[in-house]
A = this chain, B = another copy of it.
């Protein structure tokens, strides 16, 4: 039994070390990640026990992924295993100003993209849980994955779980129009909607210099209980500032602002989602923003997609623990 259930694709990530370009690499660092897995790991580390659902092939790469999920303590009992399909991959190149970091996806034909409704026993998987979380990536994988996502959201709704969706638009997977068509009915069932300024505009055409208004308009359009928007300033590739706000019940709540030195920003939005879910479910929307931002700020400093940090460390960041060496 887990308090949080998340659903999506886990990929193997390969990245050349030391700011190399892929073309010059002679070895690649290997990590495992995926938006919904990353969120589950963050929530679990903060204390919200998590279960992760995906679909994996029975081969060494599928086992590798399950191994890494288990290592985080996240429950894998409802992962769907299959003899066909592949593990999705993605390649990251880390940049420096003026070269942005970049990602090449190689996820077509993955076992997860071929998931079909009915393959997961959602009732059993969600029994006793408090929340369900997925992102706009999962339905974008394929029409059958979109159907499975819809099935999950409906079951969660029916079982009374808090439904959380991170919009997470991926231009390489679908067009804004497709995204809008598929995501709108899902978002309409969600209690929490997480997104960015850019995605709100690209998918739903909502643009406003006042981000609080963006959140408000999204909340009103979809009847969401909470809409949270993360805010990133990028003066350089290695230094960003990072914050978020949320609209809830007529009010705009603002989170703290963090100055970041960036080791690896992949997965930071997902760490925000996981932290937000923890804070919100244990406390208030403000707690959601605080835990989401602190977890996510830490994530920027850690290699790989996952938040290798403890709840204590997240709370130290919230308290402003200082930047001197700790000994």
Binding site for B on A (CB under 8 A): 14, 17-30, 59-61, 63-64, 67-68, 70-73, 86-87, 89, 91, 93, 95-106, 108-109, 170, 172, 232, 234-238, 258-266, 297-298, 300-304, 308-310, 313, 317, 321-327
Contact = CB atoms under 8 A, between A and B. Distances in A.
Given A27-B28, A237-B261, A99 B20 contact: no
B236 A261 contact: yes
Contacts of A261: 96-97, 236-238
A25 B21 contact: no
Contacts of A304: 24
A262 to B, nearest CB: 7
Contacts of A24: 302-304, 308
A172 B259 CA distance: 29
Contacts of A298: 98-99
Nearest to A86: B106
A259 B98 contact: yes
Nearest to A234: B323
Contact of A72 (B67, B106, B108, B324): B67
A147 to B, nearest CB: 22
B297 A172 contact: no
A67 B71 contact: yes
Contacts of A104: 59-61
A71 B236 CA distance: 32
A170 B104 CA distance: 29
